[in-house]
Structure formats: C-alpha cells, structure tokens
Structure 1
Amino acid sequence: MVFKSIYKQIILTLFLVVNSLVFAQQQKPNIVVIYVDDLGYGDIGVNGAVGVKTPHVDALAKNGLNFTDAHSSSATCTPSRYSLLTGSYAFRNNAAILEGDAPLIIDPNKETLPGMLQKAGYKTGVVGKWHLGLGRGKIDWNKKVPLGPEELGFDYSFLIPATGDRVPCVFLENQEVVGLNPEDPISVSYGTRIDGYPWGFQHPELLKMHTDPYHQGAIINGISRIGYMKGGEDALWVDEEIPFVLSNKATDFIQENEDHPFFLYFSLHDIHQPRVANIKFVESSTMGPRGDVIAQMDWCVGQITEQLKTANLLENTLIIFTSDNGPILDDGYLDYARELVGEHQPGGEFRGAKYSVYEAGTRMPTIVHWPNEVKPGTSDALLSQVDLYRSLAKLVNQKVEKGAAPDSENYLEAWLGKSEKGREFLLEEAYTFGLRMGKWKYIKPKEAEVPRWIAQKFVDPGFREEVQLFNLDEDPSETNNVYKAFPKIVKQMEKQLEKILK
C-alpha cells in the first residue's frame, strides 16, 4: 500500500510538472516580423500617406506602439536582412545586394535569430523574399539547395530566392523549386547570356513595362529581369499572384503551429519593383502602380492579423511591422511613380531614399503590436533592427551563444514601450556611414563620384568631401550642415564611428 501511494504521488508530481511546462510553453508569445520591402516612413496612413489608404497597418498602430525613430541597419535590402537575422552589422561581412544565384552569405555555423528562438522552444518559419544567397557555389536549381534557411534555424521556408526583378522566377519550398517538371530543368546565368526565355533588350515588344539597361535580361510574365534563365516553365511564378501565394503560405504556417509558440518572418515582396498589382488592387490609389502595391501590402498585413484573430492568438502575439530600407520611386522599371507621386511624401519629412545615408534611407515605419503587453501610443526611442536579436532573446529568456550577435544590444523595454531609452549611438549603413547620437546626425566624408546606376535613380546617396553634421530636432530634412559650428560634437562622433568600424 505504501509503495502504491508513493507511486501515485510520483505520477501526480510528473503530471503537474508536465502540465506546468506545457502551460509555460503556451504562455510564450508568438512572434511575427512583417518585413516590407522599400516601404518609406511616410508610406503608411498613420505617418501621413496621401493618395493611398492602409487601414490594416493603421489598425496595428492604433492598438500598438508607433515608433518615430526606429531604423533598419542599412539603406539597402540584403545588408538589412543580414543584420536582422545575425545581429551583426553587414559591413563586417561585406554584405551587399546579391545576385539571384549568389551563395549563402550567413555562416551556418553561427547562431542566428531563428536558431536562437528554436532553442527557446519556437517553431520557426520564413515566407517571402530571401535575398541572402543560397547554397555553397553554383546552384543546381533542379535539386534541393544544400544551404539555406533550414541550416540557419528555420523549420519551414517558402521563398522568393532573391527578388522579383532577378531570375530564377520560381518559388522554393523547404529549398526545393515548387512545381518543377524534371524534364524541363532550370538553368540560370548572370553575366553570360544563355538561350531560353527571350531577352528584354531584344524583344521590347513583349514587355508590360520598359526598364533601365540593368533589367533587360530574361522576359518572364511580360517583365524583363536581371539575369538569364532557361527551363522551369511549369514552376514560374505569376507576379500578380505573388501576394496571395505568400499570404496563404504565411497563414497556413500560423494555422499549423497555433498550438505551439512560433516565430514567423513574413518578408513581403511588395513594394519592390517590378510593381505589378493584382487586379483586385489596380487603381486603389492615386499614385499608379506604386500606390496600388502599398494597398496590396496592407491587405497582406490584414491577412495575418485576421488569421491570428481566427486562431485566438492575436492577444499573445508580438507583431513587429517594419521595412528593410527607405523608399525609391524609380528603381529600374518605368511605372511613372515619380510623375504620379503628387503630394505624397514617401520618406515623410526626412531627406533621402533607398541607397542614401540621409535619414529616409534607414528611418523605417515601425509598429509593435502585442495587446497583452504593449500599450497603444508612440515612442521616440532611437532603435535599430540589429538589436531585435538580443531584445527577443531577453523576451524568451534565452542565452545568446558566445560570439553571436556581436552588434546587437538588448532594448526590450524600449521595444515594448516601457522605456524611452534607446541607443546612445546608432549606425546607419549606406554607401558611406552615418551615425546618430540623440538629435545629432554625423555623415562620414566620402570622396567619390555618385555611381551612374544610382544617379539614374534620382537618389542623392550623401557623398560629400567634407564632414556633414545635422541637428535633426531643428532640421529633420538635413538641409543645414552645421559641422563647423560644433567641432567637439564632430570629434566625439568621429571617434565613436571609428570605434565601431574597427
């Protein structure tokens, strides 16, 4: 009898322990990062958008925390994504905009943000634009790609391998091309032309829109891309269907993991060029295709929030809505974005754009929504996406491996609106370097001509032979260079920048 009593007690204790562990697991917040492409600070309604409505994004802001001074780490896409997932500045690995067949630039032997969250008990998934390279060298697109999201800590992946303006124009699910006919194998080339799909510079009559000289390779779905491609006809995407395909995959991931804490990195293609809105969104703005795909992006956000509501998960899901770099009107495809922009200011009151070291290049629309923890409002905290790594590690009580996330710092209290204390110094990467310190903005001198390919995009990257220093409280548009009046501030910021770069 004594033995039975002890046995029952042991069983009861084990039951309570397991139940408490399951309960603790269920209490961990789900984490969803919605990463928009080329969306400017002023491109959403709550930040002053004109000519397009973003009701779903605005609802997140109304019920969450809208940041006025949160930044991507870089003014271009691959570097920002690299920093988000590694907690390291992109310049440390010479990360730059990649071609569509580039090898993976993140070291699979190093801990990543999704890998850290896996260790904390999360199911992890990435859906959408990748643009961080795949494989080790030349990729065989007809087999499972050997290095990609899986090796970096993602349990599930559904990818646009690079961007919509680069071949191959196919989706990869768990690193295999979706819908590929083995009898029609894929070949991809950058530089060397290969026979296959017609080329834009030879057949302009086949194009839905004209392009600059850099986007005149393979024509797929009436759009010429960077690079050349042959085969894989059954697997080709249709640009107008991309937002629906990606949103469905993202909501499926949520549905399949609703009984377990999950991390979803939902990386939209919109509003990157080529901007080809689905008929559902055509003429939903006054700005032509660029405005229409902003509305399309907003719909995708709504799909995520609706699925979270349906699964009764919205209250305990941390949603971080932001963008990879600043806005760009003309990025290679003629869609009349510059002509139709009207009174709308894509970067808000801030100077600059994608590719630029000025504020609009990295100051991102950023909203944090978590009804269980985050009170609605606005925050002026100075924050960088590179810090999400250690901030989320703190949230889930997970230790960061030694050597991982070298540039990431824990600002969880600021991200959740419990503190206004953000970074003392914040690095901005473009084709030179900017540094923020409170109201001050320093730009490192760069003696170089503006590359022709940037100049053609009507962007000022910020190259100047002299130091640039701006007081953003008085001059948010960075028009009055005051470096001569504040030599001590310049010296302090130069010293700090050199410390970071070394």
Structure 2
Amino acid sequence: MKKPNFIIIYADDLGFGDLGCYGASGIPTPNLDKMAQEGQRFNNAYATAATCTPSRYSLLTGCYPWRNPRAKILQGDAPMIIGKDERTLPGTLKEAGYRSAVIGKWHIGLGDGKINWNGEIHPTPLDVGFDESYIMAATNDRVPCVYVDGRTVENLDPSDPLEVYYGGENPFPEVPTGKDNPELLRMSHSDAQHYDTIVNGVGRIGFCRGGKAAEWDDETMTDIFLERSKDFITRNRDNPFFLYYALHQPHVPRIPSPRFAGSTEKGPRGDVIAELDWCVGEVLAHLKAEGIDEDTIVVFSSDNGPVIDDGYLDQAGELCGDHKPAGPLRGGKYSLFDGGTRVPMILRAPGRVAPGENSALISHADFLASFATMAGVTIPRSETADSLDMSAQLQGLEPVGRDNLVTEGFGTKTVVRQGNWVYIPPHEGPPMMESKGIETGNLMSPQLYDLGTDIGQRANVAEKHPDIVAALDALLEEIHGETIPDGHRNA
C-alpha cells in the first residue's frame, strides 16, 4: 500500500457538543456527520491546551506547550515560538518525501523580533518544515489583517507601507479605532481588547496603519483558504503530501460569507459552524474528484473548547437556546475542566480505516509520532518530545490509548488525566472568567473527578480518594520534571 496523504482540518474554538455526530441538534453539520459515519469518531481526544497558540504549537511539534515558556496566546506581531532546530510534523514527513503546506490560521509567531511587514519575513512556516505557506499572521481578531504568502504580505503597495504596534497607547491617532469611533463599527465589542484599529467595520486587537490594499475581506476569507487548499491538493495528487488546513471558524469576529449569513437560527456563530462544515465537505469531495480519496487520511478536530462571548456582541448567547457547545462537558475555552481541551475529532480514510466509535485516549501531540510511523519515518525517541505513537489507535486497530496525558487551561496551569481519573491540582485565581462566562477550574484545594461516572465533572471526590490524589499529583510532578526532549531545547 502506498504512503498515505495526510490532511489535518483544524477548527478554531469548536466545542465537543457543536456537531450533530456528537449529539448537537441546533446547528446542521451534515458533512461532518457523514465523515463520522464513514470514519473513526473519537470520544477521548484532547488538544493540549484550552487556548489556541499553545495547542497549535503542540500539534506541530509534539511537545507539551508548558515546556516552552513562549507558548501562550500571542500578539499579532509576536516572534516565532517554534525553535529553529525543533522537530516538527511537516519537517518529519519531509524525510519521507512529503510536500507540505499550511493554509489558514497560523498564530505561532513570525520573524525573530520586530517584523518588517514590508519586506521578506524570516522565519515563517517555511523555516519549520513547510514547503508552502498561505496564512493570516495571527488571528482574525488581531491586526495586521493581511495574508502572508510565503515570506511576504500579499498585495502590499510599497507606497503605502504597513505599520503594526502592540503594547501601549495608539501611536496612529489619525486611524479610527472602535474605542474612539464606535459609529464606524458594524459589530460592537464587548470587552476592552477588541476596540483598537477598525478593519472592515470591526474593531481588532492592536494598532496598525497603512497596507490598505493588502487588507483581507472577512466575507471572502473562507473561499480564499478553501481554494488554496484545493489547489495544493490538485498540484500534489501524484505525490505524498501533508496539508494543515487551519480554519478560522468559529473564532471571533464571526463573519460568514454571504452564502451562509443567516443560514441557521443560532446567529453568526451557528452560521460559521455551518460554513465550516461545508468546507469539510468541499475538501472531501475534491479528494474524490482527484481520485485520491482512498489514499488520504483526513483528521478533523479543534484547537480548544468553545466560547460564546469572546469579545464581540453577536447574539451568540441569546440565540444559543438549548444548544450546548461543550455538550455534557464542564467549562470551555480557557478552562481547566474538560470542556477546555476535550474536543471533537474524526478520522476518515476510506479503504484504510474502518468506521467506528473510538474511545482511545489521544492527545493532539501524538500526530507527530503517529504520522511518522504511518509514513515510514523512524524518529529517535529523544526527539519525539511528548508525542506517542498512536497510529494503531488512530486507525481503530487498538482500543487502548495513552495511559495518561497532560493538558493546560489558561496559562500554564496543568491538569493530568489517567484512565478515567482527572486530577486538577490547586491553582490560584478566580473561579470564573466573568467576561467570558466560563468556569476556570481554579480552586485552592485538589480536585478529582471520575469521568466514568461523572463526565460533567460535578462531583469532586478528592477527599474520598486521597491515595489517588497523591498518586496523580506525583505523576504530574514526574512529567513536569522530565528533561526537555532533544530538539526542543531552543524553543
């Protein structure tokens, strides 16, 4: 059998309960539901963090984010946080002759200091293993709101240079902001972050000036990333490839294309999830049209759990109704509870992987070692970081997954799961993130939950099982104390 192609379609802030195949009924997701019927649907798959930058770092490096002090939510002009000598998933697959591309959201940093947006940018994804890169620099709620094609900002007019600023008062008083010019907004902000420079009628985080010809149009972003992805697939159909297709939905600001605006009863959040589902269907149909459907392993998942209000007033809360984005889980994005990191995950590979429900315990950090095995690449254990070979489990050939995994909430506050036990050690901080309406999981006493009987983590049984608390606390300390793996020391 020939080497499989790999595609990871990574949603942004999609919850465990947001898809029909995971029990949702309020938002139509026919393509993902069909994908789940035809593939493996995972019940115990985890992103490594409850926020985007750390989880995306782990996805590509196999390294837990708390090992890298720079792996935290990044500003739009932050430097690259993947070390120049760090082993990555695309770099590893390149050893087996794969071509690779990242298309969509990046948010792992660019450059090595102050970025010259008007010249060539070094480093970019091209310096950490990817052969092609077409990305937004950070997130759709942060400036600069431009596409970076390879090493340069696309469509930039040299006579209108782009300047970006974070870290203080607005240095460009002539440029309208959401704070000072609310009358120019098409979408109001709900916090004191999302009211800086206005782009396309939306206040963003950070300040920028110039580069008007290069600004993206939020309403066409979906089609641009999708067509780029299809083109990469077509050009590489005769050779093994890896595509990291990083969706921006349903991250804020939620601005669907006109074809999906108003398509659900759940407002913009529901609309962009329906749009996300359509994108998945388009990719799967394109693989079939190109005749490589059975040669391609497609994984769909999310970088962290859901959030309703993340900075803009878009009626997501009012229109949510009975829909529960985290499903039966407690918490959401930013949370130490399972709702922050336990995410939907589906793997489809017709002719290679039989359909079924999969309960193996899996971390997104495992893609590095697992895809390497499936591609025939041997990696020294000293270079796989925290990634474990779960290739058999991903293909439904082995029901038992990891013995344990570590996740983090907001910042580097960590949690350990072993079997059905989840241990949250004492963490300082407020119990609620009031601005988001999400429980953080912070408590100054130990928390222990048995997911076998309490998937919603409502009954803290730490006092009843002090022996298990002690054992899991020791396990977490042991994992924290492990030597940083080779190849990740310069991260």
Coarse TM-score class (shorter-chain normalised): over 0.9
For the residues of structure 2 that align with 1:363 and 1:421, how far apart are their CA atoms?
Answer: 17
- Where does residue 485 of structure 2 map in the other structure? none
Matches for 1:207-356 after TM superposition, within 5 Å: 207-211=185-189, 212-356=191-335
- Report the 3-state secondary structure (helix = DSSP H, G, I; strand = E; otherwise coil) of the residue aligned with 2:373: helix
Matches for 1:51-130 after TM superposition, within 5 Å: 51-94=26-69, 95-130=71-106
Residue 474 (structure 1) aligned to one of 439, 446, 453: 453
For the residues of structure 2 that align with 1:244 and 1:253, how far apart are their CA atoms?
Answer: 14
Asked if 2 retains the 8 angstrom alpha-carbon contact of 1:112 and 1:404, the reply is no
- Where does residue 147 of structure 1 map in the other structure? 123
Matches for 1:169-184 after TM superposition, within 5 Å: 169-184=145-160
For the residues of structure 1 that align with 2:112 and 2:215, how far apart are their CA atoms?
Answer: 24
Q: Report how far residue 411 of structure 1 moved.
A: 1.1
For the residues of structure 2 that align with 1:208 and 1:275, how far apart are their CA atoms?
Answer: 12
For the residues of structure 2 that align with 1:309 and 1:244, how far apart are their CA atoms?
Answer: 19
For the residues of structure 1 that align with 2:437 and 2:243, how far apart are their CA atoms?
Answer: 35
- Where does residue 435 of structure 2 map in the other structure? 456
Kindly provide the CA deviation profile for residues 298-343 of structure 1, in whole angstroms up to 9, marking residues without a partner as x.
1111121111011011111000100000000010011111111111
The number of residues matched between the two structures is: 475
What letter corresponds to residue 217 of structure 1 in structure 2?
D
- Report the 3-state secondary structure (helix = DSSP H, G, I; strand = E; otherwise coil) of the residue aligned with 1:215: coil
- Report the 3-state secondary structure (helix = DSSP H, G, I; strand = E; otherwise coil) of the residue aligned with 1:321: strand
- Report the 3-state secondary structure (helix = DSSP H, G, I; strand = E; otherwise coil) of the residue aligned with 1:125: strand
For the residues of structure 2 that align with 1:204 and 1:219, how far apart are their CA atoms?
Answer: 9
Residue 386 (structure 2) aligned to one of 393, 407, 411: 407
For the residues of structure 2 that align with 1:482 and 1:70, how far apart are their CA atoms?
Answer: 24
For the residues of structure 2 that align with 1:421 and 1:187, how far apart are their CA atoms?
Answer: 51
For the residues of structure 2 that align with 1:322 and 1:297, how far apart are their CA atoms?
Answer: 12
| Structure 1: runs of 5 or more not aligned | 1-23
- Where does residue 186 of structure 1 map in the other structure? 162
**Aligned alpha-carbon RMSD (Å):** 1.1
471-480 vs 403-412, greater mean Cα deviation: 403-412
For the residues of structure 1 that align with 2:431 and 2:216, how far apart are their CA atoms?
Answer: 35
Residue 363 (structure 2) aligned to one of 378, 381, 384: 384
Kindly provide the CA deviation profile for residues 124-171 of structure 1, in whole angstroms up to 9, marking residues without a partner as x.
000000000000100000112110101101000000110000000000
- Verify: 1:441 aligned to 2:422, yes or no: yes
- Report the 3-state secondary structure (helix = DSSP H, G, I; strand = E; otherwise coil) of the residue aligned with 1:339: coil
- Where does residue 488 of structure 2 map in the other structure? none
- Verify: 1:418 aligned to 2:393, yes or no: no
Asked if 2 retains the 8 angstrom alpha-carbon contact of 1:111 and 1:401, the reply is no
The two structures have a TM-score, normalised by structure 1, of 0.93
Percent identity of the aligned residues? 44
Q: Report how far residue 401 of structure 1 moved.
A: 4.9
For the residues of structure 1 that align with 2:133 and 2:428, how far apart are their CA atoms?
Answer: 42
Asked if 2 retains the 8 angstrom alpha-carbon contact of 1:197 and 1:220, the reply is no
For the residues of structure 1 that align with 2:112 and 2:291, how far apart are their CA atoms?
Answer: 41
For the residues of structure 2 that align with 1:50 and 1:329, how far apart are their CA atoms?
Answer: 17
- Report the 3-state secondary structure (helix = DSSP H, G, I; strand = E; otherwise coil) of the residue aligned with 1:387: helix
For the residues of structure 2 that align with 1:434 and 1:302, how far apart are their CA atoms?
Answer: 35
- Where does residue 485 of structure 1 map in the other structure? 464
- Verify: 1:365 aligned to 2:340, yes or no: no
Asked if 2 retains the 8 angstrom alpha-carbon contact of 1:71 and 1:363, the reply is yes
- Verify: 1:197 aligned to 2:178, yes or no: no
Kindly provide the CA deviation profile for residues 89-136 of structure 1, in whole angstroms up to 9, marking residues without a partner as x.
001112100000000000021221100001111000000000000001
Q: Report how far residue 50 of structure 1 moved.
A: 2.3
Q: Report how far residue 450 of structure 1 moved.
A: 5.4
Kindly provide the CA deviation profile for residues 429-469 of structure 1, in whole angstroms up to 9, marking residues without a partner as x.
11322111111111011122358xx3211111100011000
Asked if 1 retains the 8 angstrom alpha-carbon contact of 2:164 and 2:206, the reply is yes
What letter corresponds to residue 51 of structure 1 in structure 2?
G
What letter corresponds to residue 149 of structure 2 in structure 1?
E
- Report the 3-state secondary structure (helix = DSSP H, G, I; strand = E; otherwise coil) of the residue aligned with 1:499: helix
For the residues of structure 1 that align with 2:228 and 2:115, how far apart are their CA atoms?
Answer: 24
| Structure 2: runs of 5 or more not aligned | 482-491
Of structures 1 and 2, the one scoring higher in RCO (CA 8 A, sep 6+) is 2
- Report the 3-state secondary structure (helix = DSSP H, G, I; strand = E; otherwise coil) of the residue aligned with 1:308: helix
For the residues of structure 2 that align with 1:447 and 1:112, how far apart are their CA atoms?
Answer: 33
Larger radius of gyration: 1
Asked if 1 retains the 8 angstrom alpha-carbon contact of 2:81 and 2:108, the reply is yes
What letter corresponds to residue 77 of structure 1 in structure 2?
C
- Where does residue 14 of structure 2 map in the other structure? 39
For the residues of structure 2 that align with 1:401 and 1:423, how far apart are their CA atoms?
Answer: 19
- Where does residue 140 of structure 2 map in the other structure? 164
For the residues of structure 2 that align with 1:458 and 1:331, how far apart are their CA atoms?
Answer: 10
Asked if 2 retains the 8 angstrom alpha-carbon contact of 1:68 and 1:380, the reply is yes
- Where does residue 24 of structure 2 map in the other structure? 49
For the residues of structure 1 that align with 2:134 and 2:105, how far apart are their CA atoms?
Answer: 9
Asked if 2 retains the 8 angstrom alpha-carbon contact of 1:60 and 1:367, the reply is yes
Q: Report how far residue 244 of structure 1 moved.
A: 0.5
Asked if 2 retains the 8 angstrom alpha-carbon contact of 1:188 and 1:230, the reply is yes
What letter corresponds to residue 443 of structure 1 in structure 2?
I
What letter corresponds to residue 500 of structure 1 in structure 2?
I
What letter corresponds to residue 198 of structure 2 in structure 1?
I
Q: Report how far residue 227 of structure 1 moved.
A: 0.3
- Where does residue 16 of structure 1 map in the other structure? none
What letter corresponds to residue 232 of structure 1 in structure 2?
G
More helix by share: 1
- Report the 3-state secondary structure (helix = DSSP H, G, I; strand = E; otherwise coil) of the residue aligned with 1:264: strand
Q: Report how far residue 391 of structure 1 moved.
A: 0.8
Asked if 2 retains the 8 angstrom alpha-carbon contact of 1:64 and 1:377, the reply is yes
Asked if 2 retains the 8 angstrom alpha-carbon contact of 1:141 and 1:187, the reply is yes
Asked if 1 retains the 8 angstrom alpha-carbon contact of 2:424 and 2:448, the reply is yes
Q: Report how far residue 402 of structure 1 moved.
A: 6.3
Asked if 2 retains the 8 angstrom alpha-carbon contact of 1:184 and 1:232, the reply is yes
308-317 vs 440-449, greater mean Cα deviation: 440-449
The two structures have a TM-score, normalised by structure 2, of 0.95
For the residues of structure 1 that align with 2:34 and 2:428, how far apart are their CA atoms?
Answer: 45
Asked if 2 retains the 8 angstrom alpha-carbon contact of 1:392 and 1:412, the reply is yes
